[in-house]
Amino acid sequence: MSESPVTVPVCYRHPSKETYIRCTRCDRPICPDCMNEASVGHQCPECVAEGRKTQRSARTAFGGTAAGRVGTITRTLIGVNVAVMILSVVTGGLGAVAGGGWGGLLGNQTPLTLWGSVVPFVTYGGELHGVAEGEWWRLITAMFLHYGVLHLLMNMYALWIIGRELEASLGRVRFLALYLLAGLGGNVASYLFSPDSISVGASTAVFGLMAAIFVILKRLKRSVAPIVPVIVINLVFTFVISNISVSGHLGGLIVGAMAAGVLAYAPKNNRTVFQVVGCGIILAALLAAVVVRTMSYLS
């Protein structure tokens, strides 16, 4: 009686390759080219892909994804600000770079800053413009405009240092919401309390980020010593140096702290819902303030 030949198992994806290794999940034979190291044994590509679908992504302490550690939103915001500065130079010439305030270190007005700055009323081209004239986009566009390269560099440096830390802690979506709310809050404050000034700059959002870092550190029970001097110094500059929007900086600081408080102290159960509703309430309050102020301007 003849014995049956012994059959050597082959990889289910590469039939020409013999193997004695099996996937620990589905038990199919896999060759070294197909196996993926697991906590116990090895897994085939299909089981690895299936595991990724069912496995929850890592979350930060405040509900964001770990993707924020890359700093994508911070880099994108810097890129947008730089691109807008280039467009301002194209439309306004080299006067957009320097030759304005602070002994000529800042830039002058350009068609772009006139179009996107926070101001209740402004006349150019023989027509009346401004937020009170229905140009509400100015409350957003102003946070991406700057008077000159020095103005831009100071804000972008602060955004680069602080933004990456916050984005890593909060995640991309929450960080972007914080940035936009703080920037909007500062611009709304400028509209409410500084009707005679023309305001632009990312500093409204940057001040909000500084306040947010303070709140986040407190929530994590870490030392706030690194950020307190930064906030104090910037507040001193705000009140001492002329041609700086005091209301814009303070508004960004306050709204940034409020938004960070919502994001940092949201209860773990239904955390995302609490954060969305909380930030939504802040946004609604800002818009309501703009409506009321606009009615007073037009009355």
Euclidean distance between CA atoms 180 and 206, whole angstroms? 10
DSSP for the chain, written as a single string: -PPPPPPPPB-SS-TTSB---B-TTT--B--TTT-EE-SSSEE-HHHHHHHHHHSPPPB-TTS-BGGGGG-HHHHHHHHHHHHHHHHHHHHHGGGGTSSSHHHHTS----HHHHHHSB-S-EEETTEEESGGGT-TTHHHHGGG--SHHHHHHHHHHHHHHHHHHHHHHH-HHHHHHHHHHHHHHHHHHHHHH-TT--B--THHHHHHHHHHHHHHHHHTT---TTTHHHHHHHHHHHHHSSS--HHHHHHHHHHHHHHHHHHHS--STTHHHHHHHHHHHHHHHHHHHHHHHHHHHH-
Query: Is residue 269 within 8 Å of residue 225, measured between CB atoms?
Result: no
Dihedral in degrees, nearest 10, Cα atoms 125, 126, 127, 130: 60
The single residue of 88, 169, 194, 203 carrying the catalytic annotation is 203
- Concerning whether 42 is annotated as a catalytic residue, the answer is no
The single residue of 42, 129, 146, 249 carrying the catalytic annotation is 249
- Concerning whether 203 is annotated as a catalytic residue, the answer is yes
Show which residues are catalytic.
203, 249
